[in-house]
C-alpha cells in the first residue's frame, strides 16, 4: 500500500505543472513527502522531489517565490548533497539556478548551503565542480560582501587554493581564480590570507607563467594589483620572478585593460626594486609604450614607475637619458599641461634625471632644447592643495639652474621672482623654507654679471629680503641660516647701490623689530 502511494506521488510530481498551477499546494506536498521518513528509502522519489523543486525555481514568478518562502525545503535537500551522484548533480544545478537571482543567493546563505558546498568540493566530479564554482562565483557577484564573509568564514580561501594546486581544467581554474579574486576584493581577511600565503603566491606566478588560456591569465593579472598593495607580498612576488612575466605580457600587446593591471602591479612593486639592477629591458619597454599609447592611465602608471626607478639609481637614470626619456617626458608635459596628477610624476622623474647623475648635464640641456622650461615655470603658483606639485617643480628648476645655459631663459621668464614671492608667502614649515632658500642660493651662485643683476633684481622685487634677513639673524635654523647669510652677502656686494641700500635698510628694520620684541 505504501509502495503504491509512493509510486503515485512520484508520478504526480513528474507531471504537476500540467495538472496544477497552485504552487503553494505543490510545495506543501513536497514538504509532506520530505517529512515522511519512508520517502528516504527510495532515492528515486528524492530525485523526483529535487527535480520538482528545481522546475519551480526555473519557472520563476509565484512558483519560484513559493520555494523561497520555505527555506526548510532547501535545508532538507542540502543535507542529502553528495550522498548519491545523480542527486548531487541535480542539487548542484538547483543551487546554481538559485544563485542567479539575489533572493536565491539570500536563501543559499540562510540555509547553510555554502559551507556544505565548500566541505564537499574536493570530492566532487568535474561536472559538479563546475556548477558549484559557478554558484560560488554568482554569490560573490550578486551579494559580494555577505557571500565573501560566509565563504571565508568556512575556510573558503584554503579550499579554493587546494583545488587550484591540483590543476583542474582551464575553465575550472579560471572559476577558482575568479572566486579568489572576488574574495580578496570583498573580504579583508581573505585578502590578507592570500597576500600572506607563499603557497598561493607561488602557484599564481607559476600558473601565469605557464598557462596559454587567456581567460585564466587575465583573471590572475586582475588579482595582482590587489595582492601587490601589501608591503610584505611585494618582496615575495619579486622573489618569485613576477616582474619578467609581467614584462613578457606587456610585449604581447593585449588590450589596454590588461596593460593597466600589469602596470599597476609593477607600479606597486617598483618602490621595492629602486636599488636593484637588471631591469634595463623593462625600462626600455616602458619608454617604448609611453609615446605609442593615448591611454592617460597607462601613461600615469609608467611615469610613476620611472619616477621610482630613477630615484637614487645612477644606472637607471643614465639608461633613461640615453633612451630619449627626457624628450618623451617633455612631450607628455606639453600635451597634458592641465592634468596636475600626471604632471607631478613627470616633473618628479625629470627632477631625478637632472639631479645626481653622470648624464645630468645632458638631461638639463635636453629639457631646454625641447622648449620645456616655459611650461615648467607656469606651475609656480600658490595653490596650497598643490604643494607637492609645486615642491617638485621648484626642485626641478633648482637642478636646471645648475646649467648656465638654462639660466637665461629661467631669468627671462622671471622664475627667480616667482620663487622669491612664493617663499615670502609660504614660509610655513622647515621643509618649505629649505627648498626655497636652497633654490635661491643656486641662482645667486651664478657668475655671469648680467644675469647676476637680473637675479638680484628679481629677488628684491619679490619681497622676500626681509624673510631672508630674519632667517640669517636667527640661531635656530643651522643650514638655512648659513645659506640666507650667503645670499644676503651676495646681494650686499652688488654693483648696484639700490641693492646694497635695500639690504642695509631691511637689516636695520629687522633688528629694531627684534629689539622691540625682546623688550
Alpha-carbon distance of 40 to 29, in angstroms, equals 15
Name residues of the chain where pLDDT drops below 70: 1-21, 382, 384, 512-519
The pLDDT assigned to 14 comes to 52
Half-sphere exposure of 159 (CA within 13 A, CB side): 23
- Residue 15 has a pLDDT of 53
Give the SS3 label for residue 112: coil
Distance, in Å, from the CA atom of 519 to the CA atom of 511, rounded to the nearest integer, reads 12
Other beta carbons less than 10 A from residue 507's beta carbon: 18
- 411, 454 in Cβ contact below 8 A? yes
Angle at 266 between CA 263 and CA 272, to 5 degrees: 160
153 CB-near residues (< 8 Å, 6+ apart): none
End-to-end CA separation in angstroms for the chain: 116
Give the C-alpha separation, 161 to 172, whole Å.
12
Assess contact for 23 and 53: CB atoms under 8 A: no
Helices (H), 228-313: 231-239, 242-251, 256-270, 280-289, 296-309
What's the pLDDT at 126? 82
CA distance 372 to 387: 21
Q: Report the run of H or E that residue 99 belongs to, with start and end.
A: none
**Rounded Cα–Cα distance for residues 71 and 81 (Å):** 16
**Which tens digits make up the pLDDT trace of 397-423?**
999 999 989 999 999 999 999 999 999
Give CA torsion, residues 383, 388, 393, 396, to 10 deg: 160
What is the per-residue pLDDT for 474?
A: 80
Rounded to the nearest 5 percent, the helix, strand and coil shares of the chain are 80, 0, 20
Q: Which residues contact 408 (CB under 8 A, 6 or more apart)?
A: 451
CB 122 within 8 A of CB 89: no
Dig out the grid coordinates for 371 from the structure.
622648449
Distance CA 474, CA 466 (A): 12
pLDDT for res 143: 96
CB contact at 8 A, 340 and 386: yes
- For 55, the grid coordinates are 522546475
> Is residue 280 a contact partner of residue 299, using CB atoms and an 8 Å limit?
no
Question: Longest Cα pair distance anywhere in the chain, in angstroms?
Answer: 125
Those residues whose C-beta lies under 8 Å from the C-beta of residue 97, and which sit 6 or more positions away, are 54, 57, 58, 104
Q: For helices 340-353 and 296-309, give the axis angle rounded to 10 degrees.
A: 30
Q: Tell me the CA distances in angstroms from 421 to 100, 150, 426, 427, 473, one per residue in order.
A: 64, 59, 9, 10, 20
8 A C-beta contact, residue 388 and residue 397: no
121 contacts 110 by C-beta, under 8 angstroms: no
Place of cell 612593486: 269
Count CB neighbours of 509 within 10 A.
12
Cell (9 digits) for 90 = 541535480
In this prediction the pTM is 0.90
- Decide: helix, strand or coil at residue 241: coil
The angle at the Cα of 81, spanning 75 to 84, to the nearest 5 degrees, equals 140
Question: How is 311-369 classified by DSSP, letter by letter?
Answer: SS-HHHHHHHHHTTHHHHHHHHHHHTTT-HHHHHHHHHHHHHHTSSSTTHHHHHHHHHH
pLDDT at residue 1, as a whole number: 45
CB 451 within 8 A of CB 438: no
Question: CA Rg, the chain, in Å?
Answer: 35
**Residue keyed to cell 631591469:** 279
The set of cell numbers assigned to 368 is 631646454
Amino acid at each position: 500500500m505504501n509502495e503504491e502511494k509512493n509510486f503515485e506521488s512520484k508520478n504526480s510530481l513528474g507531471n504537476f505543472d500540467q495538472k496544477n498551477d497552485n504552487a503553494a499546494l505543490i510545495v506543501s506536498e513536497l514538504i509532506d513527502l520530505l517529512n515522511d521518513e519512508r520517502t528516504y528509502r527510495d532515492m528515486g522519489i528524492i530525485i523526483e522531489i529535487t527535480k520538482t523543486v528545481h522546475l519551480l525555481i526555473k519557472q520563476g514568478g509565484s512558483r519560484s517565490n513559493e520555494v523561497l518562502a520555505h527555506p526548510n525545503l532547501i535545508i532538507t535537500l542540502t543535507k542529502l548533497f553528495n550522498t548519491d551522484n545523480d542527486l548531487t548533480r541535480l542539487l548542484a544545478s538547483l543551487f546554481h539556478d538559485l544563485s542567479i537571482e539575489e533572493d536565491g543567493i539570500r536563501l543559499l546563505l540562510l540555509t547553510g548551503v555554502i559551507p556544505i558546498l565548500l566541505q564537499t568540493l574536493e570530492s566532487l566530479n568535474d561536472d559538479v565542480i563546475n556548477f558549484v564554482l559557478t554558484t560560488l562565483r554568482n554569490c560573490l557577484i550578486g551579494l559580494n560582501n555577505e557571500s565573501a564573509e560566509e565563504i571565508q568564514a568556512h575556510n573558503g580561501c584554503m579550499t579554493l587554493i587546494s583545488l587550484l594546486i591540483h590543476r583542474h581544467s582551464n575553465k575550472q581554474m579560471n572559476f577558482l581564480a575568479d572566486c579568489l579574486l572576488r574574495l580578496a576584493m570583498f573580504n579583508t581577511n581573505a585578502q590578507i590570507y592570500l597576500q600572506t600565503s607563499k603557497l598561493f603566491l607561488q602557484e599564481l606566478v607559476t600558473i601565469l607563467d605557464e598557462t596559454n588560456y587567456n581567460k585564466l591569465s587575465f583573471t590572475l593579472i586582475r588579482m595582482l594589483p590587489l595582492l601587490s598593495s601589501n608591503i610584505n607580498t611585494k618582496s615575495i612576488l619579486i622573489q618569485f620572478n613576477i616582474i619578467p612575466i609581467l614584462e613578457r605580457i606587456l610585449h604581447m600587446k593585449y588590450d589596454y585593460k590588461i596593460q593597466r593591471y600589469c602596470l599597476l602591479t609593477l607600479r606597486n612593486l617598483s618602490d621595492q626594486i629602486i636599488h636593484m639592477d637588471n631591469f634595463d629591458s623593462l625600462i626600455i619597454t616602458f619608454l617604448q609604450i609611453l609615446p605609442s599609447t593615448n591611454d592617460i592611465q597607462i601613461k600615469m602608471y609608467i611615469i610613476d614607475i620611472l619616477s621610482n626607478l630613477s630615484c637614487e639609481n645612477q644606472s637607471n637614470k643614465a639608461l633613461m637619458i640615453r633612451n630619449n626619456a627626457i624628450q618623451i617626458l617633455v612631450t607628455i608635459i606639453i600635451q597634458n599641461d592641465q592634468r596636475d596628477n600626471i604632471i607631478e610624476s613627470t616633473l618628479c622623474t625629470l627632477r631625478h634625471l637632472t639631479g645626481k647623475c653622470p648624464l645630468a648635464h645632458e638631461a638639463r640641456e635636453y629639457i631646454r632644447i625641447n622648449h620645456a622650461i616655459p611650461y615648467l615655470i607656469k606651475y609656480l603658483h600658490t595653490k596650497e592643495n598643490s604643494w607637492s606639485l609645486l615642491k617638485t617643480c621648484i626642485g626641478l628648476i633648482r637642478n636646471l639652474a645648475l646649467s648656465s645655459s638654462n639660466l637665461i631663459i629661467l631669468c627671462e621668464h622671471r622664475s627667480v621672482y616667482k620663487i622669491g614671492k612664493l617663499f615670502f608667502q609660504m614660509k610655513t614649515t622647515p621643509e618649505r623654507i629649505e627648498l626655497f632658500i636652497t633654490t635661491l642660493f643656486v641662482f645667486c651662485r651664478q657668475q655671469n654679471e648680467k644675469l647676476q643683476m637680473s637675479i638680484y633684481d628679481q629677488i628684491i622685487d619679490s619681497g622676500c629680503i626681509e624673510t631672508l634677513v630674519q632667517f640669517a639673524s636667527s640661531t635656530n635654523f643651522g643650514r638655512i641660516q648659513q645659506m640666507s647669510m650667503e645670499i644676503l652677502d651676495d646681494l650686499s656686494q652688488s654693483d648696484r647701490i639700490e641693492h646694497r641700500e635695500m639690504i642695509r635698510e631691511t637689516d636695520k628694520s629687522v633688528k629694531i623689530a627684534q629689539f622691540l620684541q625682546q623688550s
